[in-house]
Amino acid sequence: MISKEHSKHANITRPLTGNFGRNEWAILGGHCTVIKFLADQVITALSTRYKCAYADTSHPNDIVQVPGKLANGAVLEYTDQINYSQLNYNEPLDAFKQRELFSQMDLILVNGNHQQAKAQVVIIDPNKYASLQKRLDQLTNVELFLLADNTDVIPDYIQITFPEWRKVPVLRLNEDIQQIINFFAERLQRATPVLHGLVLAGGKSTRMGSDKGAMNWFGKEQRYYMADLLKKHCSNVFISCRDVDQQQEIDPDYSSIPDSFTGLGPYGAILSAFRQQPDCAWLVIACDLPLVDDVVLQTLVVNRNPASIATAFKSQHNDFPEPLITIYEPKGYPKLLQFLSQGYSCPRKVLINSDVTLLSQSDENALANVNTPEEMERIKLILHQKTATKDAK
């Protein structure tokens, strides 16, 4: 017998996704050819800034012979085409697989005559009233009405079903294409994930011999100094720490996130932050970067690209991404988990093999880290020289 207090499932925050992804709209109420043409126009206009996707269902008269090796019993067939990659499945895709495949998309448009999405764009066409009336239960979050050329009104059955229909914007399907594109662009801009800060301070500082997060470079412990720097650029800031033994040491004036993915170093700290708040972006910074200042962080934030999984600086040594001063977008969460499932726990490897926006850093010392006593002495010298130069002015 299971007590009422007992829960069989861990309390994990689920990302706010729909049937396919975070930003999805079903377009319905018009002929399928009209829906496809509208999707073409929107995707063409926005694909230079965002990763766009389209979902549809074939009609009975579209059915053709099962392609390639699927006809011989294969479940999956991959073809590296000249201009694109092609995957064919010989089994239905459930909602979980759909979200996995669409997880990197910024905009997903769906033919709502055949598929559903968490938001809807409704075409008002008297020739399709019967079809639309069959789908009234699918209209859970109507965000835009589009009037076909043969009508000027929202029909009574829509008004009755949605008493607040007047609050929904109305555009003309064929005359207002730029405004329709702007509608989606504005929604995507509005959906830019909130940016939080995460100071990585959970390491054991084995090479240094003392806690790097507790080092005092600027009048306070470095983990708190870095957190204060991040507060200027982030909605909330958290200090990443080890569970139990270290969390109780953190100043209660600072929020903390204990590792729930243990034994994985910074990789586990980033995953632990996403586990708590999967719909936020995270500006992650290691506590052993004492030369990082407000200018460096401002450069990172101003040049942030939410369409990439991350925005990072290039290393001065090999042009690889610097993974421990990086903005990770929510779409990076499933990517990190996918790499972990294949046995990889290096954030740099994830960034190297993903769509990342890379920035150059003019100051070659700005991203220098301190892992050993020898490196600490070098940084002290650089800071002393900076102070002397500043005082001389």
CATH 3.40.50.300 assigned to domain 24-56+74-190? The reply is yes
Opening angle at CA 300, ends 208 and 341, nearest 5: 65
Average the pLDDT over 45-61 and give the result. Answer: 90
Residues near 392 by Cβ (< 8 Å), separated by ≥ 6? none
Q: pLDDT band for 174, please (50, 70, 90 cuts).
A: very high
DSSP 8-state class, residue 188:
H
- Number of CB atoms found within 10 A of residue 233's CB: 18
Q: How far apart are CA 34 and CA 196, in angstroms?
A: 41
Query: What token pair was written down for 301?
Result: 């934030």
150 close to 126: Cβ distance less than 8 angstroms: yes
Helices (H), the chain: 32-46, 95-101, 129-133, 156-161, 177-190, 222-231, 266-276, 294-302, 332-341, 347-352, 373-392
Q: How far apart are CA 41 and CA 33, in angstroms?
A: 13
Query: What token pair was written down for 215?
Result: 């080092």
Q: pLDDT band for 181, please (50, 70, 90 cuts).
A: very high
Q: How far apart are CA 135 and CA 213, in angstroms?
A: 57
Instruction: Specify the pLDDT at position 287.
Output: 86
CATH 3.90.550.10 assigned to domain 195-386? The reply is yes
Q: What is the CA radius of gyration of the chain?
A: 26
Q: Where are the domains of the chain?
A: 24-56+74-190, 195-386
Average the pLDDT over 252-258 and give the result. Answer: 91
Model pLDDT for residues 201-218, shown as the tens digit of each residue: 866 544 444 466 666 666
The burial class, CB within 10 Å (0-12 / 13-18 / 19+), for 335 is: buried
Model pLDDT for residues 258-299, shown as the tens digit of each residue: 999 989 999 999 999 999 999 999 999 998 888 888 999 999
| For residue 351, pLDDT beyond 80 | yes
Residues near 11 by Cβ (< 8 Å), separated by ≥ 6? none
Q: How far apart are CA 225 and CA 238, in angstroms?
A: 12
The torsion angles phi and psi of 136, rounded to 5 degrees, stand at -60, -30
User: Rounded to an integer, what is the distance from CA 18 to the centroid of its chain?
Assistant: 14
* pTM score, whole prediction: 0.89
The torsion angles phi and psi of 200, rounded to 5 degrees, stand at -80, 105
